[in-house]
A and B are shown apart, each in its own frame.
Chain A
Amino acid sequence: MGDHMSTSKRRRETHLARARALYDLKRFANFIGIFARSPRGLIGLIIIGGFTLIAFFPSFFGAYDPVNGRSLAGWLAAPAWLKNVPAQLGGMPDLSFNDNPTLNSGFENSTLTPWNFTSTDQFMHTTVGHEENFEGHAGIVDVGFKRGEVGTAYGNITITLTQDFYYQYSGPPFSFRGSLVFLLNGTTTTSSHLDKRVNESNRDQWPFPTYNITVSALDVPTKITMYLVGLAVNRTLPMWPLREQYTTYTPLGMYGMAMDGTYVNSSETVSLLGSNEISVNASAGSWVDTDQTSEPIDSNAIRIATMISEQYGAKQFATTVFFPKEATPGWFRLGLNVTFFDKDPSKPASSDVHLDTLNMRLLGTGWGIMGTDHEGRDLWSQLMYGAGISLYVGVLSTIVAIGIGLTVGLMAGYLGRVVDEILMRICDVLLVLPGLPLLIVLVAVLGTSINNLIILLGVLGWMGFARLVRSQVISLRERPFIEAAKAVGASKTHIMVRHILPNVMSLVYVTLATTVPGNIVAEASLGFLGFTDPNRMSWGLMLNNLNMSAAFQNWWWVIPPGLCIALIAIAFILFGYALDEVLNPRLRLRR
């Protein structure tokens, strides 16, 4: 009997649940139907949806690291597509792009084409395709000097390695960066030829037990000079030397050799530019990669002689080299001089220079969809990654604020009296406190993490909504259905949660949508002032970087982040208004 009862009861319950679900579904369909009739709401929803998609898959939309991906192109590069816009419309036909014009730069091709190798001296020997090379690269050039007899010193002997390349852009690059991997060996007073080949496996352990050589001095000081010459204008004007000068080396401790880099004035190769060499500190007998040195061979690191910059009005060294305009596009020559200073005739001498990866990269003044920032990072990727932070902070902090405001408003409105008084006074005090300065102080003290920001924005932003809920609850409290619930004997909690809460939920949805923009803007403002996590690229931080590097003229950097903030804020406002219209039918009548 009881069994039967419970079955029928269960059946009735399932029936009820199904009816309720159907009713809910119908209501939802009705809601969607009304909502879809509001085009503004739909536009808002589409924009929010788009940004949410970007927020979840930022790496799909922006391919580069927004924070650490530095020097992708020249700093402050313009958008690449501006090259195709006519100059009258604000385009930049003179933009150049990243380029790597040298061929066979790693000497993989053993015939050495297209390198020109000039050695006029019979005492020079060269080997290409040596098996000993840098980190498994395929090829190598071994330049050597050897004087077996005692008697006459040969003086300064230079061999030259050059390659001509065509620079295809009409404007100069932002900067160029040369790289060279080299290893120096030399004879010592005992005339023993240091050969690294045997010791490749344990390069770091020097002096090696297999060699019984006391190294005291390098007989043949060697200098490596890297340079760049414009061929179209027939002058060697902007040259770009890399100075390497080794006179002697002495054993130093357990590891390798220290170089005594006494400076020799290289004025014979650079007459106009003065002293703008980059010197690379190197240990003899071990490979040096100029890209890994503390000061890479970068045109940004070269100081331009005042005379040159006055003459050509150039700010960057690269602009000087690829100036004047009749030189670009045109032919340029990348060259390397290895000079042996044979000065001491009293003993035989020999020296070796192993060269690998003689290369030059040009960083362009144009890049990607939105160009780069002041550190050469991709702005488009930053914009894409920023969407996630804005939405995350905006939505979560609003949820926190709404949660607090709802609880406070319900309690103050329904419980009344002392509770109301206390909560509303807290509300008043918080409203008197200065919002943004307080937020900044707290963020500065507690740390600039995103989660701190969310909590602080929530805790400082609930007051208005609490007041709204409270006034609504006060009017609801006197309604007959609450009286009925009270008469049945429902507890206060039950009435608040089951009867009052559903009636203020429409308020919650609408406020949720209309509060998010404020919090997004607040987050951006904090980012703009620099009080944000520097490892998370947000739209505010993008504009902070812009302000700090004073690049106000780069409109492609100024406009998009703010436009995105505005777009997302307006989308939420439109969505909220449309929601308001659907949820509050009275509003519809008034229009």
Chain B
Amino acid sequence: MGFRSYLAKRVAIAIIMLFVVLSINYALFFVMPGDPASLFINPLRGSSVGKQEFLDRLRARWGFDQPPEQRFLLYIRNMLSWSFGDSLISGQSISSEMLLRMWGTIELMGGSTILGILIGVSLGVLVAYKRGGKFDSGMVTVSLITYSLPVFWMGLVLILIFTVKFGVPSAGAFPYDWGLPGRWPVAYTVSAANGTQWNGNVVMSINPQGTITLLYGYVSHLVLPLMTLTLFTYGGYLLLTRATMIEALTEDYIVTARAKGVPERSVIFRHALKNASLPLITSAALAFGFMISGAIITEGVFSWPGMGRWIFQAIVFNDYSVLQAVFYIIAVLVILANIIADVLYGIIDPRIKYG
């Protein structure tokens, strides 16, 4: 079977999978006990102003007055057409709020995953190369420990060290805690008394000092959560790289390469690492897929305004429309990550026969 037909098969399976996950989500949020419409009403909203109108809007969107099969179809259509409705907490459109939140999570989780992979893989290669020594056992022990520590605790300890002692900001409320209206670099407008308006990015570009200040605020808020997550993730990559690299380095072709007189650097990176990287790629791709669900705890510790914090708030305040949208997005991301991992496999290792 060629690559194309393999990819087609994978995509077909992915679509079926997506459908199944959608059904499970539907079951999870709609077959739960109680009147579904009342589930969508947030008890904390308090005032009944516009409640009936709100209910009617909900009914029309999710078809609560229609038979179950109609409702299911409506649900699928809404999900696929990206119309998730409004958040019950903020009252804003979920899809637009999701973009903002997603950016927050990508900054944090994406950054830390990349950092973790870079640090973990390079240390793993080093450790595998010097295996058996004190450095090896030390690094393995340290990464085992950081890997098995609860990530929220690591966050708390880092807050204890850096925020309490050195005053590094720990809250992820930037730029709100600086009195700025929106999340950088999303553009925002500044109105002057004479009626002219500036775009937020324009303000930055005409005021380089402001840009530097903003950048400093941004980085100083990011550094603690990023450090926490990187400390948490690098250990797994280090251990995985070490295991696969040791296996690869004991193979016969390495002996052959060395006997040929291939430079050591080339032996390690071109011969061993390339062959050892397959499981790394799978786990890295899956890590990106599970980015959002992994963010829930760290974002909770640092009150970082990302997807994880959103999920937590949605659960606490029974915001089911947000939850089902987020669950859908997570499923899509994980399925995509799986496909990407499979495709990357083929690019890295041409020996793999698709089928």
Binding site for B on A (CB under 8 A): 428-429, 431-438, 440-441, 444-445, 517, 521, 524-525, 528-529, 540, 543, 546-547, 552-553, 555, 558-559, 561-562, 565-566, 569-570, 573
Contact = CB atoms under 8 A, between A and B. Distances in A.
Contacts of B326: 437
17 contacts: A428-B17, A437-B327, A440-B296, A441-B323, A445-B32, A524-B150, A524-B153, A525-B152, A528-B152, A529-B297, A529-B312, A552-B159, A558-B157, A558-B160, A562-B157, A570-B144, A573-B144
Contacts of A521: 148, 150
A125 to B, nearest CB: 60
Given A517-B148, A543-B152, A566-B149, A436 B160 contact: no
Interface string B155-190: 011011001100000100000000000000000000
Most chain B CB inside 10 Å of its own CB: which residue of A436, A555, A573? A436
Contact of B290 (A434, A441, A565): A434
Nearest to A572: B148
Given A434-B334, A558-B160, A566-B153, 19 more contacts: A432-B21, A435-B290, A436-B294, A437-B330, A440-B296, A441-B28, A444-B315, A524-B150, A528-B297, A529-B296, A540-B150, A543-B152, A546-B156, A562-B149, A562-B150, A562-B153, A562-B156, A565-B153, A569-B149
Q: Which 7 A-B pairs have the closest CB atoms?
A: A562-B153, A434-B293, A569-B148, A434-B330, A553-B164, A566-B149, A528-B152
A442 to B, nearest CB: 8
B296 A437 contact: yes
B335 A441 contact: no
Nearest to B18: A432
Given A436-B293, A437-B330, A528 B300 contact: yes
A552 B148 contact: no
Contacts of A525: 150-152, 297
Given A558-B156, A562-B149, A570-B144, A436 B315 contact: no
Nearest to A524: B150
A569 B327 CA distance: 29
Chain B interface mostly helix, strand, loop or mixed? helix
B297 A440 contact: no
Contacts of A553: 160, 164
A431 B14 CA distance: 13
A299 B163 CA distance: 31
Contacts of B144: 570, 573
A429 B24 contact: yes
Contacts of B151: 525
A436 B327 contact: no
A429 B20 contact: yes
Chain A interface mostly helix, strand, loop or mixed? helix
A432 B335 contact: yes
B125 interface: no
Interface of B: 17, 20-21, 24, 28, 32, 144-145, 148-154, 156-157, 159-160, 163-164, 170, 290, 292-294, 296-297, 300-301, 311-312, 315, 323, 326-327, 330-331, 334-335, 338
Contacts of A543: 152-153, 156
B153 A436 contact: no
A409 B149 CA distance: 30
A47 to B, nearest CB: 13
Contact of B148 (A441, A555, A570): A570
Nearest to B165: A553
A552 B293 contact: no
B293 A435 contact: yes
Most chain A CB inside 10 Å of its own CB: which residue of B154, B296, B326, B335? B296
Contact of B334 (A432, A441, A540, A570): A432
A508 to B, nearest CB: 21
Given A445-B32, A525-B150, A569-B148, A552 B160 contact: yes
B148 A566 contact: yes
Given A438-B327, A570-B145, A429 B17 contact: yes
Contacts of A429: 17, 20-21, 24
Contacts of B311: 437, 440
Given A434-B292, A435-B293, A555 B28 contact: no
B86 to A, nearest CB: 20
A278 B341 CA distance: 68
Contacts of A432: 17, 21, 331, 334-335, 338
Given A429-B17, A552-B163, A573-B144, A437 B152 contact: no
Given A441-B323, A566-B150, A436 B156 contact: no
Nearest to A522: B150
A428 B335 CA distance: 10
A229 B161 CA distance: 40
Contact of B160 (A524, A540, A555): A555
Nearest to B132: A591
B21 A565 contact: no
Contacts of B32: 445
B157 A433 contact: no
A567 to B, nearest CB: 10
Nearest to B250: A590
A562 B228 CA distance: 14
B148 A433 contact: no
A436 B150 contact: no
Nearest to B16: A425
Nearest to B153: A562
B315 A441 contact: yes
B42 to A, nearest CB: 14
B39 to A, nearest CB: 10
Contacts of A434: 290, 292-293, 327, 330-331, 334
Contacts of B154: 562
B143 to A, nearest CB: 12
Given A429-B20, A547-B301, A528 B150 contact: yes
A559 B326 CA distance: 33
Most chain A CB inside 10 Å of its own CB: which residue of B156, B296, B327? B156
Contacts of B293: 434-437
Nearest to B301: A547
Most chain B CB inside 10 Å of its own CB: which residue of A433, A440, A517, A573? A433
A225 to B, nearest CB: 42
Nearest to B300: A529
A566 B323 CA distance: 31
Contacts of A566: 145, 148-150, 153
Contacts of B338: 432
A521 B334 CA distance: 23
A555 B153 CA distance: 12
Nearest to B21: A432
